Structures are given as C-alpha cells and as structure tokens.
Chains A and B, each alone.
Chain A
C-alpha cells in the first residue's frame, strides 16, 4: 500500500504537490520562512489570523487550503502554535554554510534546554541526525505549545519535524 497521509499519517511527495504552503527553493535561500503542511480541506483558519504580515490566506470558504505568500512571510514563527493540527514549521537555510534551523511546535515534558544535544526526528519519528537546541520558548498566547528551534545539518532540514521525546 502506498504510504501517504491517509494510510500512515505521513504526507507523500505526491501529496506535497497540492500543498499551497510550501515555499520555493529560491525563497528558502533568502531566510527564515514558514511551511504549512496542510493538505486537507478542514474548516479551520487560526493560522490566517495569527500572521502579523498577512502572509497566510484562507479566506472563504473556510475549508480553503492555507496559501503562503512567501514574499510577505518573514519566518517570525507566530503561526506555529496557532495551528490546532501542529502542521506549521519554519526553516531557515541561511543560518550558516553547513547548518540550518528548523522550528516546530512541541507539547511534551521534559522540555529540551537551549544548547542541549537532542536527536532530530522525521515525520515517521525516525532519528535523522543529531541536533542542538538553538532556542525554545512559549508565549502566553501559545498556551503551553512550546516553539523549539533545532540547529541541524542543512542536508536534513526538510526532513526534520521534531525531536525525540526526552522521556525515552
């Protein structure tokens, strides 16, 4: 059976083609930018309202897939915790020659600490590379959803979507 969002919970490369929230490689090369991994028509729009730059558009009907205006997005991460599906990530490919940053929502304790070495995992929870916690924070409006930023080898950045839970 083909592995995709509806058979195993992991978006396939085919399904990503319909995603309206995936920035161009050119945009990735310019600095931090959001990725909206939302490919199902669910009635939901908090991401649209969370963006201070108006870079996310859902509009009417509310089941529209969110569209990213990559020219407006500054990669500020405000949208990450707004998504009830935890499907928004921010990547920064310009961090250094070899390393990139990837930010994701994280709702498990214990929380990783800044500077800590952790294992970066992909969408299937497989460890893809070692990583260093570059930043971790939570604002009041995030309501307990931590925003974790990992520093990873650039080669793996598109795969990394979280870190291994520390309780493991």
Chain B
C-alpha cells in the first residue's frame, strides 16, 4: 500500500500545475500518467499562447511544459509514476494502479482527476480510411513524432484547433491546406484564420465534407456547400485531391474513472458533452474527489493550468495545510484569472456553462 495525501491522475497541464501547487505547500503527492512522458498534450502546442502576459501568454506551449516538468522534478514531495494506469477505484480513498508491471494499491486522502479530453469524430462515408484522423492526431504526428503523413490536407472544422493545426501543417512542410467549415462563420480566432490565409489556405465556410475515398489511403474528398441546417445543397458537390483529412470537431471529457467512482454528470454541449458536476472549488459530487482541466469541460491548456492550481489549493485547505486567509486570497486570484480567460465573445459561452454547472453542484454540496 502506497500512502499519500493527494493522488493526481493525469500529468497534463492541469495535473502538473496541481501537483506543483500541492507539493510546494507540503502535501505528499503521487502524480500518475499512463504515457511515457509527462505533459499531456502540451508538448504538441508549439504556438504562442494567448492570455495574460503575467501568466505565460506569448510563450509557446511546449516551453511552458518544459518548465513545469523541470519544477516537478525539483519538488521532493511529488512522486511521478509514468507508464502507469489508474484502472480501478475501490472507493474514494483507494485506487489500483498498474505500475512497473504490477498492481499497486494507493491509499490517498484526496484525489484530483485530470484525465483530459479526447477528440470527437465526424461520421461520413470513408471516415475510417487511413489518412482520416483527428486534428490533434495530426498535430501529434507532425510536432511530436516529426512525421508528416501526407502533403495535401483537408481540415474539417474552423475552431482554434482546426486553424492552428492547419498552420502547423504548413510549418511542417505541408504543401497545401483546404479548410472547410459547415457554419457560415469561422469558429476560432480571426487572427488564426488570417495566419493560414496569408500562406495560401483556402478557407471555405458553409461547406462540409460529403465523403472521402482512396485505395487503402485517402486520395480524394467530395466537398459540398451546405445550408444553414448543415444539409447538402444539391448540385454543389466537387472533388478535391487530398491525402490527409483532419477532423477538428471538438473534444469531450475523458471520465471513465469518474464514472467508476459514481460522480454525477450533466449534459453541457459548450464544454464538450457530458461533464462531471463540480463546484467553484473543483470538487465533484463526491467528497474529496476533485477535477481539473479538460475533464471538467473541454477548454484550453491555459484554463486547465489555472483549474489545476485551484483544485490543489482546495485540497490543501481541506487537509488543513494552509490558513483560511491564505486559501481565500489564492482562490480569489485564480478565480479572477479564470474569469479573464473566459471573457469576451469567445469565452462567454464557456463562462455561462461553468456557472450553470456550479449552480447544479450547490445541491450536491448540501447532500455531502
């Protein structure tokens, strides 16, 4: 039995920041990740982040990752288990982990689940053909694995992920990009769209992919204009020769462990679908089970890092490892930063969604 104050599941941006805050406040922390390297999806983010200069905006994502991993290694209170899978929740304090080819039982006072999110698919004839992949998958291939699985990209979806990965495909030597968006407006930041437009990307709004075909691998795609109900407008189909199709249709929280634990969920489309109910302190419907990052609703690495810090401080306070004054002042600071990241026309839907989840959580905190 391995005994700790805090078990953190997932060493992405949220888990890393949570571990650092809690470890630096003197909690014993076990940080577990199923991958061979920590960082989650931070290392494939090679663009400079938006946000407040005071909190690393203007810095490339992978540099933020490098710094966090270095700080984690320097903190004596944090144990990092890689290639390790938390596969079972016995109860709210006991978890089973496959680590070094054996099963370890963890006895922990509190838990932060920071398991992230996974890309949504988009179903059309040919979507299973090799060469059709998630936009994040393409980003992993070109930026982490350093292999470009084709030259002519069809990007489906104009959210920030679709726009950013299109740009990074060009940076990785890709020949051409066609980006289609079913809505009549580009979904992500205009500046990201401008970036790819300047280098020849054809951005087509009100357009979708009808089918993809090829012999063993993507060779061409049929595109069509769609109406405002996303239905194909007859006679508008045309063919484009492409060899990769990337789907940027959003993400949904990865919450198997929380399902196992019996957390309450709520349907919340702006945050990716089913989302665990949680309060402003990042605690779920179960006492002592906290969440942070995309598992609490798919957003961005910058919000994930702040949520990780917030969850860590909630745990620190609940374990009486800091004063109420200290906790309150940190909590207010982080909450202000989160509100800033969720402000403006791009943030307001996420802010409202989070507020509605916090409202639901009020009922559960009474039951706890």
Contacts and interface: CB of A to CB of B under 8 A. Distances in A.
A38 to B, nearest CB: 7
A37 B52 contact: no
Interface in A1-27: 1, 5-11
B50 to A, nearest CB: 4
A49 B53 contact: yes
Contacts of B205: 1, 7-8
Nearest to A105: B195
B30 interface: no
B57 interface: yes
Interface string A105-124: 00110000000000001011
B352 interface: no
Interface stretch (B227-235, B260-268, B339-347): B339-347
Contacts of A108: 170-171, 199
Contact of A86 (B59, B63, B195, B344): B195
Contact of B53 (A8, A9, A46, A61): A46
B49 A162 contact: no
Nearest to A126: B200
Given A1-B205, A45-B52, A143-B48, A11 B194 contact: yes
Nearest to B53: A49
Nearest to A38: B191
Contacts of A43: 50-52, 340-344, 347
B191 A86 contact: yes
B347 A10 contact: no
A112 B197 CA distance: 20
A9 B341 contact: no
Nearest to B187: A6
A155 interface: no
B368 interface: no
Contact of B190 (A6, A44, A61, A84): A6
Contact of A85 (B189, B200, B343): B189
A145 B167 CA distance: 14
A1 B342 CA distance: 30
A144 B47 CA distance: 10
A62 B340 contact: yes
Identify whether the interface residues of B are mostly helix, strand, loop, or mixed: loop
Nearest to A124: B197
B190 A39 contact: yes
B186 interface: yes
Contacts, number: 136
A77 B193 CA distance: 23
A82 B58 contact: yes
B345 A41 contact: yes
A24 B191 CA distance: 22
A123 B197 contact: yes
B287 interface: no
B109 interface: no
Contacts of A165: 170, 199
A92 interface: no
A114 to B, nearest CB: 21
Given A9-B196, A61-B343, A108-B170, A45 B53 contact: yes
A121 B196 CA distance: 13
A40 B199 contact: no
B60 interface: yes
A45 B51 CA distance: 6
Interface of A: 1, 5-11, 37-46, 48-50, 61-63, 82-87, 107-108, 121, 123-125, 143-145, 161-162, 165, 167
Given A6-B190, A44-B50, A44-B57, 5 more contacts: A9-B203, A10-B197, A41-B345, A84-B58, A87-B194
Name the 9 nearest CB pairs between A and B, nearest first.
A85-B191, A9-B193, A46-B58, A9-B197, A63-B344, A5-B190, A41-B344, A84-B48, A49-B53
19 contacts: A5-B194, A8-B193, A9-B203, A11-B190, A39-B190, A43-B52, A43-B343, A44-B57, A45-B57, A48-B53, A61-B344, A85-B50, A85-B194, A86-B194, A86-B195, A143-B60, A143-B63, A165-B170, A167-B173
